[in-house]
Chain A
């Protein structure tokens, strides 16, 4: 017995060594930690501090890949999760593992995977670590391309819910055809057309004694994109059958979404306009869970994502139950040597976006809108609702003054409906004007200093803010930054939020250490938001990959 066992292990070891030699092992690691302190200005007392004092979110991915095969795992340890992240993320486990192989044109993935059909409004599983968002599927996915230009995908799976899985089973199939590649006659035409269609169905048992709930909820989507020289036009329409859930108050209305865009771009100039309408489109793997925990789809917010601190005080989050709006963006580089452009040219980015509620009318004289267990409401597809949710105009000009100095100036005007967009305690429309001036000066080779001055003026909510930031970088390794936000316009409490940070980067490894105060706010990515609690503390973040 011993001899056989030894023999087997020896063989296995040899094969393993050979297999490993033909493949690649790679991975990455990230850790964000914070120590929290008391702060009388911010009203943080010993009672509100987390008892652990030190909180950390970490994860590591390891992937093994060869030509036709790859497998990977991710280990997550949130012991305990940082403030602002759902406490159900506390814990440690392998939360992601998969094996993927390609054979005869068929691409098979088993285990956890992320996937998107079209724009994602019918189905999208993705991760956004900074939001604590991860709705990966655990199941099987097949991808196949029967002929050139035709792509088919099908999947079955259950979605991740913290360290567990949601109850519902999601099945989906998506087909896309690139007409110009499939039909060789069209290969050289100037107009390129892509068509796609998807069908998704989710299953969850109905155990409710009062309501007759649909166990299989289906959605269908169709999309097209046409490229013609410098022009591009596309649209996607999604229809979802009755899906009573906690998010829509258990109404039996169908859901519809339409996203359309048109753009033109050539070297030095680009213009795009997009419009969308969303009506009762929240879709969850578990009809009883509210929020975005196990969302099957992704409803993009058609607003500009800002990076400047004061510009992110009032970020927009998509309202799945119904909204419509549009966005227009202009990108232009004024030529070098022209009058306005100056010696090096000037960059211009202008953006306008808005969102309104959708029109809602009672289904009959007796039933109030959104009453549980009814069809909910009717909605005229082309009519706007009464409430404005959001509106923003932003203009950014960037100019290189000389070899050492660059300047970027930004102006933003925002209307933010704080009653509808649940995030702040304030009720009413917050109107704010934000100006930002950023300058970058090259002191000498590899040494550069960057300064930002920002100002937000508003007569609502917390009033005016002023912010200053100075950052010194030594290429390619070091950065030091010091900043302060001052809420001088606040009627009750004028608070300073100072912060210093420093970091070291080498290759793919980056360390950053920071100390200071953080204001209470909302952090959004793509229309999905998370609250960030106020804090005073030291933060450390480490990231690396190999």
Chain B
């Protein structure tokens, strides 16, 4: 009996002593050190799965904007509108921000099922089913992935034909290290500065009429899963070129258009490099 007494007291003391308590005194943020990069840097691809009727989604958009400020060119952000909260409905939410490719990604990766908002950083973790990240987890993942050396580099160029509202895009993918996996290139068009309705639970009234939607994915030029770069193994120095021509939708404003490209592993979906340029500098 006494030994049990002793045992229990010991256990409780141990529990208490091991369960310490961290109280953080301000300042609450660390000075983040972003190793600026010269030349052919690794860039991270952040996808924010969102919808105009999703009241919690503006928080994720704010986070994406905050991270874009911190990481600058090393972060490529795309907002994918897909799932229930992105469907057009009623008299205010009439814009259709969904895309065929975005819908297929959402079905494949299960983002809207997991509850919007959420996102993926370089689509890592898909094979372990840990690819969906809450916006508060994006920074740590971006930080972790930026430590890696770049494996490929994408050079993008685009020109705009104002007479017929079309663009022609060319990309050169340069292999920097040898890779023994099949790769796909994906090229998207995104538009920022779109003014339309957005629900925000933290706002009053909750339906914001003149919300600015940024980095909205408008179209994929390479289908849902990209175009194979052609080989099964690549060695340093290999160069692969692709080019596309596309007519822009009449509602899209050329000054706000960006071209986004990313290279992904065909089998694991993991993104190994991204690039973004504005159509009109």
Contact pick for B30, options A106, A210, A252, CB 8 Å: A210
Chain-B contact segment, one of A255-263, A274-282, A284-292, A396-404: A284-292
Q: Are A210 and B29 in contact (CB under 8 A)?
A: yes
Q: Beyond A208-B140, A210-B139, is A242–B15 a contact (Cβ under 8 Å)? A: no
Interface size on A, residues (CB 8 A): 48
- Which residues on the B side are within 8 Å of A152 (C-beta)? 8, 12
Q: Beyond A214-B23, A216-B22, is A249–B59 a contact (Cβ under 8 Å)? A: yes
Task: Name 15 A/B residue pairs within 8 A (Cβ), A-sorted.
Answer: A105-B4, A142-B8, A154-B12, A199-B16, A207-B143, A250-B136, A287-B136, A288-B134, A290-B115, A373-B28, A374-B28, A419-B206, A422-B55, A427-B205, A427-B207
Q: Beyond A171-B18, A246-B134, A287-B136, is A212–B30 a contact (Cβ under 8 Å)? A: yes
Q: Are A242 and B143 in contact (CB under 8 A)?
A: no
Contacts A104-B1, A209-B32, A290-B115 aside, 10 further interface pairs with beta carbons under 8 A come to A142-B8, A173-B16, A201-B19, A216-B21, A216-B22, A241-B22, A246-B136, A290-B56, A373-B29, A419-B204
Contact pick for A209, options B28, B133, B139, CB 8 Å: B139
Contact pick for A212, options B20, B29, B201, CB 8 Å: B29
CA distance A521 to B144 in the complex (A): 43
Q: Are B22 and A215 in contact (CB under 8 A)?
A: yes
B236 at the interface (CB under 8 A from A): no
CA distance A213 to B143 in the complex (A): 16
Name, among B24, B26, B110, the residue most crowded by chain A CB atoms within 10 Å (CB to CB). Answer: B24
Contact with B along A132-159 (1 / 0, CB 8 A): 0000000000101010000010101000
A485 at the interface (CB under 8 A from B): no
Contact pick for B12, options A87, A173, A242, A290, CB 8 Å: A173
Q: Are A212 and B5 in contact (CB under 8 A)?
A: no
Contact with A along B221-244 (1 / 0, CB 8 A): 000000000000000000000000
Q: Which 10 A-B pairs have the closest CB atoms?
A: A201-B19, A218-B21, A214-B22, A207-B140, A288-B134, A209-B143, A87-B113, A171-B19, A288-B136, A144-B8
- Which residues on the A side are within 8 Å of B204 (C-beta)? 419
B195 at the interface (CB under 8 A from A): no
Interface residues of B in 125-170 (CB under 8 A from A): 133-137, 139-140, 142-144
- Which residues on the A side are within 8 Å of B179 (C-beta)? none
CA distance A212 to B24 in the complex (A): 8
Name, among B15, B32, B110, B144, the residue most crowded by chain A CB atoms within 10 Å (CB to CB). Answer: B15
- Which residues on the A side are within 8 Å of B205 (C-beta)? 427
Q: Are A211 and B115 in contact (CB under 8 A)?
A: no
Q: Are A173 and B22 in contact (CB under 8 A)?
A: no
- Which residues on the B side are within 8 Å of A144 (C-beta)? 4, 8
List the interface of chain A (C-beta within 8 A of B): 86-88, 104-106, 142, 144, 146, 152, 154, 156, 171, 173, 199, 201, 203, 207-218, 241-242, 244-246, 249-250, 252, 287-291, 373-375, 419, 422, 427
CA distance A87 to B132 in the complex (A): 14
- Which residues on the A side are within 8 Å of B246 (C-beta)? none
CA distance A201 to B20 in the complex (A): 7
CA distance A419 to B199 in the complex (A): 12
B11 at the interface (CB under 8 A from A): yes
CA distance A242 to B5 in the complex (A): 34
Q: Are A207 and B21 in contact (CB under 8 A)?
A: no
Q: Are B22 and A142 in contact (CB under 8 A)?
A: no
Interface residues of B in 15-51 (CB under 8 A from A): 15-16, 18-24, 26, 28-30, 32
Interface residues of B in 61-114 (CB under 8 A from A): 70, 110, 113-114
- Which residues on the A side are within 8 Å of B207 (C-beta)? 427
Contact with A along B173-205 (1 / 0, CB 8 A): 000000000000000000000000000010011
CA distance A236 to B20 in the complex (A): 23
Q: Beyond A199-B16, A216-B19, A241-B21, is A211–B201 a contact (Cβ under 8 Å)? A: no
- Which residues on the B side are within 8 Å of A154 (C-beta)? 11-12, 15
Q: Are B24 and A252 in contact (CB under 8 A)?
A: yes
CB B168 to nearest CB in A, in angstroms, measures 37
CA distance A287 to B201 in the complex (A): 20
Contact with A along B201-216 (1 / 0, CB 8 A): 1001111000000000
Which residue of chain B has its CB nearest to the CB of A420?
B201
Which residue of chain B has its CB nearest to the CB of A290?
B56
Which residue of chain A has its CB nearest to the CB of B13?
A173
Name, among B29, B55, B113, the residue most crowded by chain A CB atoms within 10 Å (CB to CB). Answer: B29
Which residue of chain B has its CB nearest to the CB of A375?
B26
CB B58 to nearest CB in A, in angstroms, measures 12
CB A334 to nearest CB in B, in angstroms, measures 47
Q: Are A88 and B11 in contact (CB under 8 A)?
A: no
Name, among A241, A288, A427, the residue most crowded by chain B CB atoms within 10 Å (CB to CB). Answer: A288
CA distance A239 to B169 in the complex (A): 59
- Which residues on the A side are within 8 Å of B22 (C-beta)? 214-218, 241-242
- Which residues on the A side are within 8 Å of B26 (C-beta)? 252, 374-375
- Which residues on the B side are within 8 Å of A173 (C-beta)? 12, 15-16
CB A132 to nearest CB in B, in angstroms, measures 13
Contact pick for A241, options B4, B7, B8, B23, CB 8 Å: B23
CB B223 to nearest CB in A, in angstroms, measures 23
Contact pick for A171, options B15, B113, B135, B140, CB 8 Å: B15
Contact pick for A199, options B19, B28, B70, CB 8 Å: B19
Contact pick for B134, options A199, A217, A289, CB 8 Å: A289
CA distance A246 to B138 in the complex (A): 13
CA distance A388 to B139 in the complex (A): 37
